[in-house]
Structure 1
Amino acid sequence: MSKKYTIEIPESAMKKTGFTANEQLELNVNHNEITIRPSRVTDQLPKIRLYWYILPALVLTIVFFAFCRNQHMKTVPITGDYSIAYGSMLLSLVSGLLVFVITFIVTKLQNNGPTRNIYWRSLPVITIAYGLIIAFSFSAFFWLLEKLFTDARFDIYTSTTFVFVIIAAINYLTINLALTLSSAIITNLLTIMIIGGMLFSMLTNSTRDWWKYNFSFLGTSQNSANLQFNVTLIFSGLLMMALVDYLFVNLQQKYPGIKTQLLRWLLYGEAACIAAIGLFPNDPKFHVLHDRISMWLVYIMLILIVAIRWILPEVTRQFLVTSYVIGAVMGAEYIVFKLANYLSLTAFELIEFALSFSWLLLLLQNIENLAQYGEQLFLVKIKNNSTEDETLVGTEKQPQDEAKR
């Protein structure tokens, strides 16, 4: 007989789910994780009405069609000034961001979604960051299409259909984002924002040998893509501030005190330095200030790594070991860079950035787990019922044996 187990779920967790005691649920096992969820897939998805994303897409598609007819365009190119790429990107940004803001405000006022734990001041930052990600994604996607289908053009009706589908898809993704917004999603936006923006700047800049100078060269006036690079850093810093705001709403309620406040303000300082590096690029007039801010960024990172044992509540030994190893590698790399010619300045900056950003993501993940405990994370117990089953089977056999006698 196979063993059976019982999972004891706290009452506070059951109240948050809305499940009933005898409701049939689905248990999903994925590697070392167990997920209990509604048996119907539709119950797990946000309830998004069709007209929420179709109606704005239809209105803006009519605007696109009317513009093309007014310009007497019988065919529309994929890329260019008056193209499918430009029209869909512009209209998707207008529609997507408007829908996102409306959905955010409605759920915030109704206090029935994840936005209730997000400050109002974070709305502009998250909105602009999401808009920049849409713009970068569109630019990369249509740049690839241009390479695959050079000089391709479509008739006005086919082009309008393409634009409608793209706007509707962006609207749906945007509404879904607003209804499921969480610290994990904001962290993903931050990661995509930084890595995607930097890669986009590297690919689109006019100076192919930029790496012979330094990493900050991407933000200087000598680089044609300096605006994308600097804007990426500015809003990455602001987005990190919004993420810290969101995480510390619950964290400071559970762990009040000067240590938690110190951790919060050090993270604010780190985010401010990231934004300031983009605000003051490494041009001659800002060179000294740019270098000072870059050093402050390093100093704050080192203070965080050294002090994390005391300022992060319930810090684990594994995270401490990881922090000290990363700090040691960063220090060793700095020594090698200063005393030898083994590493170029660009290589040094890229490695330092990769290590520090990876550690920051780990830190934010640890803070997220602490903040969610008691809100979205709960302790449960698993009991082995096999002994009880054997006892029950034994007692059931006795009447049968007596009947045979």
Structure 2
Amino acid sequence: MTANQQIHISIPKETLNRLSLTYGDELLARVDRDKIIIEPKKDRASSQTQSLRWFMVPGLLAGIVALINFMVQKTSHVHLSGANSISQITIYLAVFFGFMTFLIALFLLGQNQLVATNFWIKIRSVITLTTAFTILNFAITSFFFYFVDLAFHGVILDPYTSSALIAGFVGIASYLMMNAAQSISFSTIATVMIATLVGGIFLSMITNSQEDWWQINFSYLGSNLSNNWWQFNFTLIFSALVMLTLIDYIFSLLFQIKKFATRKMQILRALLVGTSIMFGLVGVFQNNRSIDWLHQLHWWSANLLVVFILAVIISLKWLLPNVTREFLLTAYGFAGLMVLSEILFQTVHYLSLTAFEIISFSLAFGWLVLLMQNLNNLYIENYEIFTIELK
């Protein structure tokens, strides 16, 4: 091979079509350690202009709104925290403009990533994802200003400087939300689901006024006896919606591959959808013992959730194509641990009710995340990865 000799590669036509590329288009190839990464060539100037627009427009509008607010309120000195402060107004505007930015960006820039063919499923996914990222935006912005107030406590600025700072913070938040909308993938949706569930549950634990709640049971956080039961139940309901979005996303990808568009995979999807619905109903029906029918519906939803999970595990051997022996053993291991925890609680009385609920919940949720990851790998191995021949 001579130094100037050209090496050609062949790429499947369906891959070029998926990336909206045609014969003659230029691709960029770069070496990253021991890998060669090939990607479409982007117009750098256009990309920078687009990024500046998503940063400047929301930021400018937020700054104008903040300044008008200070003038109407006749606020000559603006505090960093408190009522009508920099932090309060920034949080409100960051949530509003972040929500609008994410929603618009998802429709304009990230619509190719929402592969669901059903219109209503796509609408539900858009609303769920937009709400989820808005909640994360609110939490991150609030924590940021909490620490800023600790570092610069007592700072007072004039309305114009305060408005400029608000514009900058809101612009950054909107830009990050735009990037999030463009980066919708299995990993981002799964991360949002885990963050929403774990974060909401821990917040319910921390803000609960009953310090020894754990001596009763884990479900106490969502019962009528808890002062913030709505927060715990909302976490379960919304996490179930994000899980449903993740299921729709991964199966919409898998059904693009002919060998996976089978009745068996549709049954597996139905079982997982049933699992997410039961998970959400555990939060919908409050564990209120003073209202017997409500308590019974909560109890049945929790038990049916376990039934659906066990049904998925037992049927994997017949429903999931190319399932490996190692993955089946892992699935049976999770099922065995759930049964063991049931025996240790009901028969041996070794586990307390709180420990049993936490262990069972952790095993069930961990197994579902592991299964979703396996389904995503199944798609990548059969669609995203292809052989390139050097010529």
* Residue aligned with 2:224, SS: coil
Distance in 2, Cα, partners of 1:75 & 1:205: 36
Distance 1:66 1:260, change over 3 A: same
Q: 2:309 maps to which residue?
A: 301
Q: 1:114 maps to which residue?
A: 113
Q: By how many angstroms is 1:63 displaced?
A: 1.1
Structure 1 segment 132-281 matched on structure 2, within 5 A: 132-145=135-148, 148-149=150-151, 152-155=154-157, 156-253=159-256, 254=258, 255-281=260-286
Structure 1 segment 24-43 matched on structure 2, within 5 A: 25-29=29-33, 34=35, 36-37=37-38
Q: 1:346 maps to which residue?
A: 354
Residue range with higher mean Cα deviation, 322-331 or 341-350: 341-350
Partner AA of 2:364 in structure 1? S
* Residue aligned with 2:74, SS: coil
Q: Residue 217 of structure 1 contacts residue 223 of structure 1 at CA under 8 Å; is this kept in 2?
A: yes
Distance 1:200 1:79, change over 3 A: farther
Q: Residue 215 of structure 1 contacts residue 349 of structure 1 at CA under 8 Å; is this kept in 2?
A: yes
Q: 2:70 maps to which residue?
A: 68
Matched, 1:319 2:327: yes
Matched, 1:58 2:60: yes
Residue range with higher mean Cα deviation, 130-139 or 184-193: 130-139
* Residue aligned with 1:184, SS: helix
Partner AA of 2:275 in structure 1? E
Matched, 1:128 2:136: no
Q: By how many angstroms is 1:259 displaced?
A: 1.2
Q: By how many angstroms is 1:123 displaced?
A: 1.3
Distance in 1, Cα, partners of 2:93 & 2:306: 40
Distance in 2, Cα, partners of 1:88 & 1:37: 40
Q: By how many angstroms is 1:75 displaced?
A: 3.7
Matched, 1:379 2:386: yes
* Residue aligned with 1:348, SS: helix
Q: What is the alpha-carbon root mean square deviation over aligned residues?
A: 3.1
Partner AA of 2:114 in structure 1? T
Q: Residue 46 of structure 1 contacts residue 179 of structure 1 at CA under 8 Å; is this kept in 2?
A: no
Q: Which has the larger radius of gyration?
A: 1
Size of the aligned set, in residue pairs, is 370
Distance in 2, Cα, partners of 1:346 & 1:141: 33
Residue range with higher mean Cα deviation, 293-302 or 240-249: 240-249
TM-score, with length taken from structure 1: 0.81
Could you give the per-residue CA deviations for residues 330-383 of structure 1, whole angstroms, max 9, x where no partner exists?
2112211223343222222112222211111111111122334454x2233799
Structure showing greater relative contact order (alpha-carbon pairs closer than 8 Å, 6 or more residues apart): 1
Distance 1:247 1:331, change over 3 A: same
Q: By how many angstroms is 1:150 displaced?
A: 8.8
Q: Residue 26 of structure 2 contacts residue 41 of structure 2 at CA under 8 Å; is this kept in 1?
A: no
Distance in 2, Cα, partners of 1:342 & 1:142: 45
Distance 1:170 1:42, change over 3 A: farther
Q: Residue 10 of structure 1 contacts residue 378 of structure 1 at CA under 8 Å; is this kept in 2?
A: no
Distance in 2, Cα, partners of 1:267 & 1:7: 44
Identity percentage of aligned residues: 31
Could you give the per-residue CA deviations for residues 51-87 of structure 1, whole angstroms, max 9, x where no partner exists?
2231122112221222133223344444444333332
Distance 1:346 1:138, change over 3 A: farther
TM-score, with length taken from structure 2: 0.83
Partner AA of 1:257 in structure 2? T
Could you give the per-residue CA deviations for residues 19-68 of structure 1, whole angstroms, max 9, x where no partner exists?
979966212247xxx4514599997x976331223112211222122213
Q: 2:3 maps to which residue?
A: none
Could you give the per-residue CA deviations for residues 316-335 of structure 1, whole angstroms, max 9, x where no partner exists?
22221211111111211221
Q: By how many angstroms is 1:269 displaced?
A: 0.8
Could you give the per-residue CA deviations for residues 170-216 of structure 1, whole angstroms, max 9, x where no partner exists?
11111112222122211111111111111222222222222122222
Q: 2:90 maps to which residue?
A: 88
Q: Which runs of 5+ in 1 are unaligned?
A: 1-5, 386-405
Q: 1:360 maps to which residue?
A: 368
Matched, 1:333 2:345: no
Distance 1:301 1:64, change over 3 A: same
Residue range with higher mean Cα deviation, 6-15 or 217-226: 6-15
Distance in 2, Cα, partners of 1:289 & 1:95: 39
Partner AA of 1:197 in structure 2? G
Distance in 1, Cα, partners of 2:148 & 2:230: 24
Residue range with higher mean Cα deviation, 361-370 or 244-253: 244-253
Partner AA of 1:261 in structure 2? Q
Partner AA of 1:293 in structure 2? S
Q: By how many angstroms is 1:292 displaced?
A: 1.1
* Residue aligned with 1:36, SS: strand
Q: By how many angstroms is 1:227 displaced?
A: 2.6
Distance in 2, Cα, partners of 1:247 & 1:206: 40
Distance in 1, Cα, partners of 2:9 & 2:79: 61
* Residue aligned with 2:156, SS: strand
Q: Residue 234 of structure 1 contacts residue 275 of structure 1 at CA under 8 Å; is this kept in 2?
A: yes
Q: By how many angstroms is 1:168 displaced?
A: 1.0
Q: By how many angstroms is 1:159 displaced?
A: 3.5
Distance in 1, Cα, partners of 2:316 & 2:247: 16
Distance 1:340 1:65, change over 3 A: farther
Residue range with higher mean Cα deviation, 118-127 or 359-368: 118-127
